[in-house]
Copies of this chain bind each other. A is one copy, B any other.
């Protein structure tokens, strides 16, 4: 089934079940008011949401036409946003771009950071541009939404924790990264609000493409109308979602609704393109001595989606434009 969140009167919006073709939805208030509430009680709510999805498919329930602009992030705010960097090609290129070495444990010890999750962007929300000198970049990623995940969960037991799959645009302010990481405490100011795809889907929607804790489909990134990346999300995800869950659950538990990201989807084969501008700039530097592609500016657009083998946009399309931030300063 495919779930979404309608923008509503309050911060958490309203849970809806979306049809297989993404064109219609039905309200799920009889099951749970919000996606977080559904996840809090998933064993009870999931079968009822699945029944609603079936009724929607069969035309046995009231449905409305879906306007994507009315959809918020499936979780408009989340209790945790945990993001890995699981595609080693990305780690190697981006570290090279900022003159840093990949960690020695690159292949044995996942890179993970804790992101801000109190304000998340919907799939068509503008990306606010503060200071253009900050170096705005997109990052196309695959995510899972976890159910309750106890400390000590193993990779072998992690499949049961993966309740939903969606896409993310993990927006990054590249030029703030080196100084921030240099202080030793990780990303903070360099990671503004992240955007998510219209739909969060149960893994069974992916069919055989969901296996070994990886999504074996391509993530397509379209920047200013040009397809800049059509990148395989499966084989080069060095640490699978199952590996990542075992890693993060070593020292603590996670609540239902925690979002876990793959990191920027990246392939060693350059013909596949890129899922962020930083990689392209590094390739340009390697090939020509300096980066040619500027970071994002006001008016730029980025679209991110993932097509299945029938050409269906599994999680719907993230389609954002960059807008200069009109800061409302409290003074």
Q: Which single member of B114, B151, B179 contacts A188 (CB below 8 Å)?
A: B114
Asked if A134 CB lies within 8 Å of chain B CBs, one says: yes
Stretch at the interface among A228-236, A248-256, A264-272: A248-256
* List of B residues within 8 angstroms of A247 by Cβ: 189
**A325 closest partner in B (C-beta):** B151
Q: How many copies of the chain does the oligomer comprise?
A: 2
Asked if A70 CB lies within 8 Å of chain B CBs, one says: no
How many residues from A make CB contacts under 8 Å with B?
A: 66
A40-B183 contact in complex given A130-B251, A248-B189, C-beta closer than 8 Å? no
CB distance A130 to B113 under 8 Å? no
* List of B residues within 8 angstroms of A254 by Cβ: 116, 118-119
Q: Which single member of B114, B152, B190 contacts A327 (CB below 8 Å)?
A: B152
Asked if A56 CB lies within 8 Å of chain B CBs, one says: no
* List of B residues within 8 angstroms of A327 by Cβ: 150-152
CB distance A10 to B109 under 8 Å? no
CB distance A186 to B118 under 8 Å? no
CB distance B157 to A329 under 8 Å? yes
CB distance B330 to A103 under 8 Å? no
Q: Min CB distance, A326 to chain B, in Å?
A: 9
Question: In the complex, A229→B153 CA distance in Å?
Answer: 37
Asked if A192 CB lies within 8 Å of chain B CBs, one says: yes
Asked if A203 CB lies within 8 Å of chain B CBs, one says: no
**A254 closest partner in B (C-beta):** B118
Query: Which of A10, A186, A257, A258 has the most chain B CB atoms inside 10 A of its CB?
Result: A186
CB distance A157 to B331 under 8 Å? yes
Q: Kindly identify, within residues 100 to 129 of chain A, every residue whose CB is under 8 Å from any CB belonging to chain B.
A: 100, 103, 105, 109, 111-119, 128
Question: In the complex, A182→B325 CA distance in Å?
Answer: 35
Q: Which single member of B11, B128, B151 contacts A151 (CB below 8 Å)?
A: B128
Q: Min CB distance, A53 to chain B, in Å?
A: 26
* List of B residues within 8 angstroms of A153 by Cβ: 329-330
Question: In the complex, A115→B158 CA distance in Å?
Answer: 23
Q: Min CB distance, A234 to chain B, in Å?
A: 24
CB distance B119 to A252 under 8 Å? yes
* List of B residues within 8 angstroms of A118 by Cβ: 79-80, 254-255, 257-258
CB distance A116 to B119 under 8 Å? no
A192-B79 contact in complex given A184-B100, A186-B187, A331-B157, C-beta closer than 8 Å? no
Residue contacts A-B, CB under 8 angstroms, 13 given: A80-B117, A103-B184, A111-B185, A113-B188, A116-B252, A119-B254, A119-B255, A134-B251, A161-B330, A184-B186, A185-B186, A186-B186, A189-B248
With contacts A80-B116, A103-B182 known, what are 15 further pairs, Cβ within 8 A?
A80-B117, A80-B118, A105-B179, A105-B183, A113-B186, A119-B252, A151-B325, A151-B327, A157-B329, A160-B330, A161-B330, A173-B251, A181-B184, A189-B247, A189-B248
| Nearest 9 interchain pairs by C-beta | A186-B186, A157-B330, A152-B327, A79-B118, A118-B255, A80-B118, A192-B252, A114-B114, A113-B185
